[in-house]
Structure 1
Amino acid sequence: MTTPVTVIEGGVVATMDGVRAEHAPGHLVVRDGLVEAVGPGPAPALDPATPVDRVDARGCLVTPGLVNTHHHLYQWATRGLCVDDGLFGWLTRLYPVWARIDEGVTGAAAAAGLGWLARTGCTTTMDHHYVFPSGGGDVLGATIDAADRIGLRFLATRGSMDLGRSRGGLPPDEVVEDIDTILAASAAAVDAHHDPGPRSRVRIGLAPCSPFSVSADLLVESARLARGAGVRLHTHLAETRDEDDYCREHFGCSPVDHLQKLGWLGDDVWFAHGIHFDDTGIRELAASGTGVAHCPSSNARLGAGICRTRDLRDAGVPVGLGVDGAASNEAGSLVEEARQALLLARARGGPEALTVRDALETATIGGARVLGWDDRIGSLEPGKEADVAVWRLDTLPHADIVDPVAALVLGTRPPLELLLVAGRPVVERDRLVTAHEQALAAEVVRRQRALLGNG
């Protein structure tokens, strides 16, 4: 049976292509999971014998699917805890809870988190999983299975921690692994799951957790392994002033300089948060092509600070958005991160610090660039993957907002008329169609109660 061609027409199309073309109204044609045509006005005539699914997008804004560049999906099961702590206190209190997670908890949390990411316009997400309790089963595999079930494009990073409290690190010893175990598991994850092909739905990266939870040896060896395998590198960096103090006390330099000495700058690397980079650090990131995952809601929730988004972008640093772990961002909504990024940038730098289209850019093609996937996703261009969000803007909260991009970025979260990943529907009429939302919620609640000792 011939797969129907999908034709979306009548809405405003924000392509996020190289010239940031917008068509009002415009059309988008999807064939075999790829964008075949995009442009102004109605779609071109198709062969009458071609089966067509037509989407009436009048009253809607059509954008690329959003790209989430930093997340910890397992934390969906520990939302609402330690809500008034800063980062180090928050981690200290939650590590003992996370030490009890297993693949059941992780899979349920990942499915719920991914389902809500889809409902908020996300078509591609990464996940930074760095807690591997003994006897917990295949927790990384559980996140990959969840992504396949929900239908999102997925960059799963095999995280790691080898520096426990007894060796001067922050995490308790029971949640860290030895370096040989980490490297063997990292290599196995790449071999089992990484697909570098042009139609890939799953990729793997390596992601030691942070300067205060991993050794220099682990950072060096992980970089060597990743580059030998052709996968990307990720870690947290410059999230708090405490981290900066830690690096200067233990390594005699800034966090950026510490990572640079260990070979951790490059266009295959991106850092989460990046709040406290100085001017020199920003220049080093720009010169090396190193990216930054900006997590505005989590940064504000933990009181960590405001990222220098405008300075990073002006310097040429690739910048994307991340919701971060659901335990430091109870909303878990990617479209809302675009709004938070704009508001915080303007709170710091004035009304010209970030435009509404800058914010949409960081949520789409900017995020794709950070993940090294911008040749295939992040914009609506012929030949690219048909990862598409259709936002309904003709309801009460948005109907009279003149600029549709401003309506999306500055308004409340609009209903999602349609979400396609490689041309396949994941959300229709603001409802997840790949899984039952109530079942996802019930399962994660059941797992959470057992984890917290309330079940």
Structure 2
Amino acid sequence: MTTVIDGCAVACVDAAGTEYADGHLVVDGDRLVTVGAGRYDGPVDERIDGSGCLATPGLVNTHHHLYQWATRGLAQQSTLFEWLVELYPVWSGIDADLVRVTTAAGLGWLALSGCTTSTDHHYVYPRGGGDLFAAQVDAAREVGLRFHPCRGSMDLGRSDGGLPPDNLVESLDRALAATAEAIDKHHDPAFEAMVRVAVAPCSPFSVSADLMREGAVLARDRGVRLHTHLAETVEEDAYCRERFGCSPVEYAERLGWLGPDVWLAHGVHLDETSIARLAATGTGVAHCPSSNGRLGAGVAPVRDLLDARVPVGLGVDGPASQESGQLGGELRQALLAARLRGGPAALTAREVLAVSTMGGARCLGRDTELGSLEPGKLADVALWRLDGLGHAGIADPVAALVFGPPAPVAALLVSGRPVVRDGRLGTVDESALARDLARVSRELVRR
């Protein structure tokens, strides 16, 4: 099937920064075959009118915790550690049904904010909860987003000096075996893959050094990527220096956790030496500005990271610490956070768009497949409506998208398939998602 999006502004986010004030895109099957100026006059099966819109690559969400959709609005004045201590006991009640519902709802909501590819870092596996990982993969398939679930784990409970309660941690052997099983069952290395799995022990304060080391060995043996939290708060930095005698980045490097196959969530508290090591090793960073602000963690040094050529992507983080749950709004938040730290020249609208697309694709190891609008790449496209009152008068469409209010999504294509049309999900029933979400949230509170 050939689909054409016509009459729209286009921001390709390619290496040359190609843009068209009035352009078109041609999709054949799951690939982009043409991106250019003016109208397309060739034969098509479907034509999407892009008048008043901006076409960009679909946004890439590089960090999330979808199960947290059921526990929003709690621990409102807490630091990260305080927030975790309050919520871990609640999360001990999650099961496969809740995870399926929250994954579908969260991914559907991300789609409505222009996201075509999302990770998820799930590390809470209560005993008897069922196959939570498979529930996520099934939900993502239903919604139609490209999905990078990260099989998380924790083996350092409170009795061993960790933060989570003992009933939420796994043994080292169990965590590694379950992670290997998730890779074997669900990881797809193909160019057009809809599901790819990563190895993702949770964090330095909930995971033993042995699990970190052996997790890295497992990931590299199976040819998958590695993901974890790092350098999010001053408390974490102090924890690493007191317990391990080094910075979080130095600790990660000791354990084999730096490299071009690794991306780290947050990276808020990074000194010059740490940034240099990330750059030298090609390690990526998932920037989560709203969550960092909500928890008072600080502002990541995004300008410094980009100047050092560290791969930087954009992330929502869990909806329990970023209650809006949308990625489109994070573009503006990233811009403002960088400027709050470094002044009005710290980050441009186009740099933010690049971070949220190509930057995310680099973090996930998919920059040859997605992240820009170029012939031969996968047809993951966001079409943003910018002709309404909220964006009227901003002549530059990229500035309108980033500086302005969250733009409605006129169309969202994933591998050429429509997931959103005219601001509505076309793959799943939004009302049913909302009802299911309310149900599992009530059940979790009762538990």
**TM-score with structure 1 setting the length:** 0.97
In the alignment, the residues of structure 2 paired with residue 404 and residue 358 of structure 1 have an alpha-carbon distance, to the nearest angstrom, of: 14
Deviation at 1:52, TM superposition (A): 2.1
Measure the CA separation in 1 of the matches of 2:18 and 2:45: 25
Question: Aligned partners of 1:362 and 1:338: how far apart in 2?
Answer: 9
Match of 1:38 in 2: 35
Question: Equivalent residue for 1:6?
Answer: 3
Residue 270 in 1 paired to residue 236 in 2? no
- Describe the SS at the equivalent of 2:101: helix
Aligned amino acid, residue 188 of structure 2: D
> Counterpart of 2:214?
221
**What is the one-letter code of the residue matched to 2:380?**
D
Separation in 1, partners of 2:241, 2:333:
31
Gaps of 5+ in 1: none
The aligned counterpart of 2:18 is 21
Distance 1:51 1:393 in 2: 25
Superposition pairs of residues 232-271 of structure 1, within 5 angstroms: 232-271=225-264
The amino acid of 2:91's aligned partner reads W
Question: Any residues of structure 2 matched to 1:401-416 within 5 Å, and which?
Answer: 401-416=394-409
1:315-356 CA-partner distances (Å, limit 9, x unpaired): 010000000000000001101111100001001101110000
Asked if residue 87 in structure 1 is aligned to residue 80 in structure 2, the reply is: yes
Q: Which residue pairs with 1:299 in the alignment?
A: 292
- 1:101-152 deviation line (CA, Å, top 9, x unaligned): 0001111111110010000000000000000010000111111111101000
Aligned length: 447
Deviation at 1:39?
Answer: 1.0
**1:321 aligned residue:** 314
Letter in 1 for 2:311: P
Give SS of 1:214's match: coil
Paired residue type of 2:187: H
Larger mean Cα displacement after TM superposition, 396-405 or 124-133:
396-405
Q: What is aligned with 1:449?
A: 442
In 1, Cα distance between the equivalents of 2:239 and 2:162? 10
- Structure 1 residue 42, shift from structure 2 partner: 1.4
2:4–2:44 Cα contact (<8 Å) kept: no
1:398 equivalent in structure 2: 391
Query: Once the 2 structures are TM-superposed, how far is the Cα of residue 72 of structure 1 from its aligned partner?
Result: 0.3
RMSD (Å) for aligned C-alpha atoms: 0.8
Specify the alignment match of 2:335 in structure 1: 342
Counterpart of 1:132? Answer: 125
Give unpaired runs (5+ residues) of structure 2. Answer: none
1:311 maps to which residue? 304
Aligned to 1:338, the other structure's residue is in SS state helix
**What SS class does the counterpart of residue 221 from structure 2 fall into?**
helix
For 1:13-65, what per-residue CA distance to the aligned partner results, in whole angstroms no more than 9, with x for missing partners?
A: 0001111100111110000110000011112x42xxx5421111111000000
**8 Å contact kept, 2:71–2:320:** yes
1:371 aligns with 2:387: no
- What letter is aligned with 1:6? T
**C-alpha separation between the residues in 2 aligned to 1:263 and 1:136?**
31
SS of residue matched to 2:433 = helix
* 3-state SS of 1:10 partner: strand
% identical aligned pairs:
62
State the TM-score, normalizing by the size of structure 2. Answer: 0.99
